Each structure stands twice: as C-alpha cells, then as structure tokens.
Amino acid sequence: MTAQVALITGASSGIGAEAARKLKAKGYTVYGVARRTHRLAALTGDGIRTFAMDVTDDDSITSGVKRVVEEAGRIDVLVNNAGYGTLGSVEETPLDDGRRLFEVNVFGAMRLTQLVLPHMREQRSGRIINISSVGGKIYSPLSAYYNGSKHALEAMSDCLRFELAQFGIQVAVVEPGGTKTEWSEIAVAHVEKNSGQGPYARQAHAMARGLASEGQRQRFVPAAAVADTIVEAATARKPRTRYTVGANTKAAITLRRLLSDRAFDAMIARTSGVPRT
C-alpha cells in the first residue's frame, strides 16, 4: 500500500515540527514546509522532506503543491499550521499589520486548501486539518486581529466540511490554548510595541505580564501534546470536527457557551488581570 502523504505548513519549529515527526513515525511520507528554511534542517535529518514555502506568496504555494504531487503522487493530509499572533488595541495596531495577519492565518490556509483539493477530489479522499486556537471560540482584550483570524478560520472550516463531504474529504479543526512555543514571546513583543506607550498601556502591560509569568507558562501544554492531537485527527477513521487541547482550553470554551457576554467579560478581566476601567 502506498504511504499516505502529509503536507504541513509552519513546520520550522513548535507544533508543526512535532507533528511532522509524529506523522513520519506513523509511516506517512511527510513534507514539512516553512519560510525559514534554515530551521528545517533538523527535520531533514529525521527523514522528512522539506522545502521553502511562503503561504502568502501564490507562486510559492502553487509550485510547492506541484512539487509534492510530482514527487509523491498524491496528497492525503494537509495541516494548515502556519500562523502567528499580532496583539494590540484596534485603535493603535496598523491596519497593514492586521491585513498581514489575515493573509497568513486565513487566506494563506484557504489558498493552499484550494490548490490541494483538486488532487483530493480526484482520489476521492483526503483530510484538511486547520490549526485554530481557543481564540477562535472566545475573545480577549488586545487580541481583535488574532482572535478575528481564528474565528474566521473556524467558520470557513465548517463551510468546507459541508462542501467536501460529498467527495470523501474530511475537515477537522484543532483548538490549542496556551502552548509552549515561541508564540507567547512574539505576542508580548507585539502588544508592547503596538500599545505599550499610549492610552491602552495599562492593559498592554498587564497582558504582557500575564503571558510572560511563570504561573501562566506552567499551565501551557507542550507542543507535542498538540501534535498528538493532529496525529489523531489525521489517522482516525472518522475524525471529530473539533479537537480542543488542554484542560483550561476546554473550560474556557464551555464557560463562553454558558455565560452571558457581560459575565464572560468579568471573568476574562479577572483571570487575565487586564482591567476594563
């Protein structure tokens, strides 16, 4: 039987790199791609096929999909993992920064999905796994662009699930909470840069302290735990539509469903330490 083929974006570190290794261990032919190719060398040493791909560059992703199909003959699993967070108030965050975030987190994932789907339809099978976030189900201050991008990815994944079921293609969403990756350090830098000096400085400093605190980091889940969930979504005979990762993530999503908006506002203010007034 021909090995299943997986294409994983954002594979240079963290969740993407761990998922690539774990799917390789399951017998998949794995392509791990990222913009930062110098950080893919370790994956190459593990027998994972790597090359540069920028999900915001149409030529890059078009040639990348063509390369995988020419070399491996098929694509069975697409893991849309590439993404990042820009934090800061809506008022102060440059609109171009917000556009760039959506280009990576949403439009890059959707364009790559567009390119992969004709091959999956032809083989009458395939799996799209979109890496969302707890931020795709809840909200928090100074996170409008990031959470907005993940809310969009969630909704578009639901639409895709309906559209693609007729072709035997399944769609799953993975929703991690805080994860032990570079994300929090990058987020702290963004929130301080965008809102650390102006009228939202009190909120920005509180959020930065919370993200950087040791107590918060201890509640983060390892990247390997998220990767295990991706493997489950890729290999299950009938994958769930959504996978949450981490006890705190499940609790937050449940509370969002149960609480009124104002009650949830109060909870977020209390647990995050970010004041509303």
The pLDDT of residue 232 is above 70: yes
CATH number of the domain bearing residue 113? 3.40.50.720
Whether the Cβ atoms of residue 9 and residue 81 lie closer than 8 Å to each other: yes
* Residue 107 domain flag: yes
User: What's residue 187's pLDDT?
Assistant: 73
| Closest listed residue to residue 51, CA positions, set 223, 21, 61, 181 | 61
At how many degrees (to 10) do helices 95-102 and 144-164 cross? 30
Residue 216: predicted pLDDT = 64
Within a domain: residue 210?
Answer: no
Residue 217 has a pLDDT of 65
Cα distance between residue 60 and residue 37, in whole Å? 13
Give the number of domains in the chain.
1
196 belongs to a structural domain: no
124 domain residue, yes or no: yes
H or E element that contains 20: helix 14-25
Its domain, for residue 237, covers 5-182+222-247
- At 67-103, the pLDDT tens digits run 999 999 999 999 999 998 889 999 999 999 999 999 9
Average pLDDT over all residues of the chain: 92
Within a domain: 256: no
Give per-residue pLDDT as tens, 183-206. Answer: 777 777 878 888 989 999 998 888
Strands 126-131 and 77-80: parallel
pLDDT at residue 61 above 90?
A: yes
Residue 151: pLDDT band with limits 50, 70, 90: very high
Query: Which secondary structure element, helix H or strand E, spans residue 8, and what is its range?
Result: strand 5-8
Instruction: Answer yes or no: is 198 within a domain.
Output: no
> Residue 214: its pLDDT value, please?
63
Distances (CA, A) of 50 to 62, 120, 199: 15, 21, 45
> Which residues are part of the catalytic machinery?
146
Task: Establish if 258 belongs to a structural domain.
Answer: no
Q: Rounded to whole angstroms, what are the CA distances from 185 to 46, 181, 239, 257?
A: 27, 8, 32, 29
Cα dihedral sign for 102, 159, 118, 69? positive
Tokens of 109: 């994932």
The whole-number pLDDT of residue 248 equals 85
Q: Look at residue 204 and tell me if it is in a domain.
A: no
